[in-house]
Amino acid sequence: MPRTERWPMGEPVYRRVIVKLSGEALTDSEGFGIRQATIDRVAADLVAARALGTSIGVVVGGGNMFRGVEISANGVSRVTGDALGMLATVMNALVLEAALERAGAPARTLSALAMPAVCETYSHQRALRHLGKMRIVLLAAGTGNPFFTTDTAAVLRASELNGEAVLKATNVDGVYSADPKKDAGARRFERLTHQEAIERDLKVMDATAFALARENRIPIIVFSIREPGAIAAVLAGKGRATLVG
């Protein structure tokens, strides 16, 4: 990503971002369920990032509970499987909302699937109103449609809500040419264009998300969420990450 000396230290590089948080980021090494200590750490990171003056939306995944593709492989239709995955993202968002409120930051969950007894229904105007009041907005249920990933949802919401960047929180410190856990020779990229990410078929995000980001000129910053304070560090221009854009 751009070198830190180009960015004023202590000032956020972006004034509004969408953080893409995978479901696995909310659990432990087992990769399933919710680990409260992990939730609280992520919430603390988001609160610290908000304190820089950046308004934040968070698109939450549901892979720690359900994955539509995996469920459909066992005989359930893809439409039904994706619906279950979307419901899992709502559960994750509600847990994270509660953690954020405990940490002292106002937060609201907005779901692309209407469930008014549980949370607010997503609309462009409602989300902008909450962001304008510096509430952290948890954007659940993806796009509300099957066959679209939460990666694509993150770029879509950034496009709709005037987000200046998508922060893709992963388990590694950037984009690599191969899985660094499996390939010791994997090369880490400091910077890529959207087109390069698509042509190289890099699996950090799906091609639809990269294409939408390219069309709307939205940078994607890929970084590790495992380090405490990682989100605020990226916003301050000090984090180790890969810039796609």
| 1 lies in some domain | no
Task: Flag whether 5 is in a domain.
Answer: no
Domain that holds residue 71: 19-244
Per-residue pLDDT tens digits for 21-42: 988 888 766 667 788 888 999 9
Residue 12 lies in a domain: no
Residue 113 lies in a domain: yes
Q: Is residue 206 part of a domain?
A: yes
The answer as to whether 6 is a domain residue is no
The answer, yes or no, to whether residue 71 has pLDDT greater than 80, is: no
Q: Is 16 helix (H, G, I), strand (E, B) or coil?
A: strand
Beta strands in the chain (DSSP E): 16-21, 55-60, 107-111, 120-121, 136-140, 165-170, 175-176, 188-189, 191-192, 220-224, 241-244
- Cβ-contact 230, 240 below 8 angstroms: no
Pairwise pLDDT comparison (121 vs 71), residue with the higher score = 121
Domain presence at residue 60: yes
CATH number at residue 102: 3.40.1160.10
**Distance between CA atoms of residues 98 and 108, nearest Å:** 9
- In whole angstroms, give the CA distance from residue 148 to residue 144: 9
- Work out whether the CA dihedral 171, 223, 201, 180 comes out positive or negative: negative
Q: Is residue 4 part of a domain?
A: no
Number of structural domains (the chain) is 1
**How far is CA 175 from each of CA 73, 167, 170, 202, rounded to the nearest angstrom?**
28, 13, 10, 8
- The DSSP bridge partners found for residue 58 are 19, 138
Q: What percent of the chain has pLDDT over 70?
A: 91
What pLDDT, on a 0 to 100 scale, did the predictor assign at position 5?
33
pTM over 0.85? The answer is yes
Per residue in 180-224, pLDDT tens?
A: 888 888 888 999 999 999 999 888 889 999 999 999 999 999 999
Q: Indicate the pLDDT class of residue 54, thresholds 50, 70 and 90.
A: very high
Segment 144-171, tens digit of pLDDT: 999 999 999 999 999 999 999 999 998 8
- Residue 169's pLDDT is what? 93
* Cβ proximity of 109 and 121 under 8 Å: no
| Per-residue confidence (pLDDT) for residue 75, from 0 to 100 | 79
Cα 32 to Cα 7: distance, rounded to the nearest angstrom: 38
The two beta strands, 136-140 and 107-111, are parallel
Contact 99, 34 (CB under 8 A): no
